[in-house]
Chains A and B, each alone.
Chain A
């Protein structure tokens, strides 16, 4: 059974750096095909995809946040860490980590990805 949980600061001041940890169990991020993502949601607003990290350390970022984001993994600790620099009030949001599942269709040719399991989320507020 896969479980995920985010942890980190609940309040930051503008310009500070956010570091969030996602602790997970039930799978290994060193296994071929595995991936973990980060998504955030400002209060009352839509979901925003931030990043994905794969078993082979391939990492993809939202272009609008690319210069501020870093995602790393520690397979021994079963953790994924998101770092976001220069936080501002607009970054106030609930941050989620999520497990990426991949699935081949019946032809075996098409490979589909989606987030099948999510952590409960952690609310991060940025205010002076």
Chain B
């Protein structure tokens, strides 16, 4: 199985901060990497797919980069609505798909 490791596991930030979350894969997954946001008590919501493509309706302050084994999710200017847990997920051309362990973004 392909393992995904996110860092950090949690972070504290202020509104307006630039935030970057990293996801590392145990082997190359090319660009088959997706990012989800999950708020407490809610289902996840896709933000980015194919490593860097913004899903429709997602604010442009979110961006994704990377390929191979290292990927980043960046929030350019953190808003109050962005305090949540973020997960990466790989959908490489083999199963099983896997998720990272999550990164919780909290208010400083």
Contact = CB atoms under 8 A, between A and B. Distances in A.
B89 A114 contact: yes
Contacts of B44: 39, 47, 96, 115, 118
Nearest to B101: A46
B43 A96 contact: yes
Interface string A39-76: 10000001111001000000011110000000000000
Contacts of B79: none
Interface stretch (A11-19, A24-32, A80-88, A105-113): A105-113
Dominant SS among interface residues on chain B: loop
B31 A49 contact: no
B96 A103 contact: no
Q: Interface extent on B, as a size class? A: 20 to 34
Contacts of A119: 43
A63 B98 CA distance: 11
B46 A116 contact: yes
A37 B34 CA distance: 15
Contacts of A9: none
Interface in B57-108: 87, 89, 91, 95-102
A48 B98 CA distance: 7
B45 interface: yes
B46 A112 contact: no
Interface of B: 1, 30-32, 34, 36, 38, 42-46, 49-50, 53, 55, 87, 89, 91, 95-102
Interface of A: 37, 39, 46-49, 52, 60-63, 96, 98, 103, 105, 110, 112-116, 118-121
9 contacts: A49-B99, A96-B44, A105-B50, A112-B49, A112-B91, A115-B34, A115-B36, A115-B44, A121-B43
